[in-house]
Structure 1
Amino acid sequence: MRHTLPHAPQFYVTAPQTCPYLPGRLERKLFTALQGDDATSLNDSLSQQGFRRSQNVLYRPSCTECAGCLSARIRVTDFELSRTQRKTLKKNETLTREVRSPWATEEQFALFRSYLEGRHADGGMADMDVFEFAAMIEETPVKTRLIEYSEAGEDPLTAVCLTDVLSDGLSMVYSFYKPDMAPRSLGTYLILDHIELAKKMELPYVYLGYWVPHSAKMGYKANFSALELYRNGAWEPMQKADDYSADLHPLSTDPIAEQVSNLRLPHVRAVRR
């Protein structure tokens, strides 16, 4: 006899690890596998609820005593350039954009290693080898593109962004660039260019990953207008950065079972047994 069963995603929690954003803290993640015929709809749905993709996994912070990590996105139609951002566009007007399939190259890896050594030498990705890099780029069950930036008329890469195309926006999964070009503010430029891409594609949002109050690594994200943060199960316009706190609080995170039960999951297809 053949039975039809729902193929619902299963959720798990990582063991506590050192927090990469706030000193003296531990982080924990809620995660699920991203695979099968429903991968695209699951990625869309959970991205809209504060999750991020890493290869074939979707995750969201679920720390026991801290709720500092807030998923951030930009409302494209309401975004307005600041004076500094206009200058950033001017500084980088010689860059050309090339959208490619997610396929890793030696040139990309060389730029990636240079970026890590210059900006994140003590980070969690510092020991990644070429095979792990290729997996980060290529292991994706959803619509992903690799966006490369180079100086006009020159071959060497200047910057790269791994980007997911969601039903309601562009999700900047990971970006890296030449670390010796700090005056050009390439990190900011990549976001500005993604906003322009989203406008052309008529997508309402650009997803930036997490913003953490009082974290120097994340401070630049608060400089973008029309920014929204995912808090208490809903997106809300960002207020002043100083209005947010990453203070420890033992009641800041709901129990895992409650978090999972409150997730809005897409309709999943049945699997015959």
Structure 2
Amino acid sequence: MIFAVTKLQSLVYFATPEHECSYLEGRLATTVFVDPTVEIDFETYSRLSLNGFRRSGNHYYKPKCEACSACIPVRIPVAHFRLSKSQKRIVSRNKDLRVNIRKAEYNPRHFALYEHYINSKHADGDMYPPSLSQFENFLLEARPETEFVEFLAGEELLAVAVIDHTADGLSAIYTFYDSRHARRSLGVFAVLWQIAYANERNVPYLYLGYWIRGCQKMSYKTNYRPLEMLVHGRWLGIG
């Protein structure tokens, strides 16, 4: 698909003051946001994703730090992806799960699982403590193309992956899961399912957000190969 570059050039962008980096200790960060009063259509959103922007609720942003370029957008070219031995085991371990795709709307089971996930996995992070307003602003202020993908064992909800559709793929917005099922590696399985889903829909990429060297929480993204990174405005393949 050919995008209208002029649409991005005509957008208004705002930069935050420097603030403490959420990922690297001792670093200061600056974030650029698209004017939140502007309605972002499907084509413009797709182009923003292609240029390294991410979405959080109705906000479209990317890091733009003067003294640091550690946040690197990454995506998986799904047609070339091959499962590793450990990933094959994870797929096998979760073959009993049922998948259900829903629209982005409030579901008390989703919020309960999200609350459990933040409390158990991210009690040391910016999203703690979880709240309903936080959940709504982050995940329910969604796009028409947003889907909530449920992973269920029988009737038990184990994980939810929130994804956006773009012109050239899927964008992995957020995944939350029941941490009591550690053996299932639900976070990994959710990514593997999204890769398969993108392949099924015949779109080339799964956008994973930012990989940050030196940040343990982001290191998992290089486990999916091949991987492409956006460096100086060009997508380059690694591995």
Contact 1:33 1:56 in 2 (8 A): no
State the Cα distance separating 1:181 from its structure 2 match: 2.0
- Determine the C-alpha separation between the residues in 2 that align with 1:183 and 1:23: 30
State the Cα distance separating 1:38 from its structure 2 match: 4.5
State the Cα distance separating 1:115 from its structure 2 match: 0.6
Map of 1:258 onto structure 2: none
State the Cα distance separating 1:183 from its structure 2 match: 2.2
Contact 1:29 1:60 in 2 (8 A): yes
Map of 1:110 onto structure 2: 112
- Determine the C-alpha separation between the residues in 1 that align with 2:53 and 2:39: 19
User: Structure 2: any 5+ residue segments left out of the alignment?
Assistant: 1-6
Select 2:76's aligned residue among 70, 74, 77.
74
- Determine the C-alpha separation between the residues in 2 that align with 1:231 and 1:189: 28
Q: What count of residue pairs does the alignment treat as equivalent?
A: 232
- Determine the C-alpha separation between the residues in 1 that align with 2:18 and 2:46: 27
| Superposed CA offset, 1:98-139 (max 9, x none) | 110001211111111111111100211113311221232221
Contact 1:149 1:157 in 2 (8 A): yes
Give the CA RMSD over aligned residues. Answer: 1.7
- Structure 1 residues 104 and 75: alpha-carbon distance in aligned structure 2, compared to 1, 3 A threshold: same
Map of 1:120 onto structure 2: 122
Map of 2:217 onto structure 1: 217
Map of 2:3 onto structure 1: none
Instruction: Specify the code of the residue in structure 2 equivalent to 1:64.
Output: E
Alignment of 1:180-259 (within 5 A): 180-238=180-238
- Structure 1 residues 109 and 38: alpha-carbon distance in aligned structure 2, compared to 1, 3 A threshold: closer
Instruction: Specify the code of the residue in structure 1 equivalent to 2:147.
Output: R
Contact 2:143 2:164 in 1 (8 A): no
State the Cα distance separating 1:158 from its structure 2 match: 0.3
State the structure with more CA Rg. Answer: 1
Query: TM-score scaled by structure 2?
Result: 0.92
Where 2:26 maps in the other structure, the secondary structure is coil
Instruction: Specify the code of the residue in structure 2 equivalent to 1:174.
Output: Y
Confirm or deny that 1:25 pairs with 2:27. yes
Instruction: Specify the code of the residue in structure 2 equivalent to 1:163.
Output: I
Task: Point out the more displaced range, 140-149 or 67-76.
Answer: 140-149
State the Cα distance separating 1:156 from its structure 2 match: 2.4
- Determine the C-alpha separation between the residues in 2 that align with 1:213 and 1:121: 22
Contact 2:14 2:34 in 1 (8 A): yes
- Structure 1 residues 142 and 48: alpha-carbon distance in aligned structure 2, compared to 1, 3 A threshold: farther
- Determine the C-alpha separation between the residues in 2 that align with 1:193 and 1:35: 34
State the Cα distance separating 1:78 from its structure 2 match: 0.6
Query: TM-score scaled by structure 1?
Result: 0.81
Confirm or deny that 1:172 pairs with 2:172. yes
| Superposed CA offset, 1:135-156 (max 9, x none) | 32221244111111111x2x22
Select 1:61's aligned residue among 55, 60, 63.
63
- Determine the C-alpha separation between the residues in 1 that align with 2:188 and 2:47: 27
Percent pairwise identity: 34
- Determine the C-alpha separation between the residues in 1 that align with 2:40 and 2:216: 37
User: Structure 1: any 5+ residue segments left out of the alignment?
Assistant: 1-5, 240-273
Contact 1:12 1:31 in 2 (8 A): yes
State the Cα distance separating 1:56 from its structure 2 match: 1.1
- Determine the C-alpha separation between the residues in 2 that align with 1:34 and 1:234: 26
Alignment of 1:130-149 (within 5 A): 130-149=132-151
| Superposed CA offset, 1:58-77 (max 9, x none) | 11111111100101100011
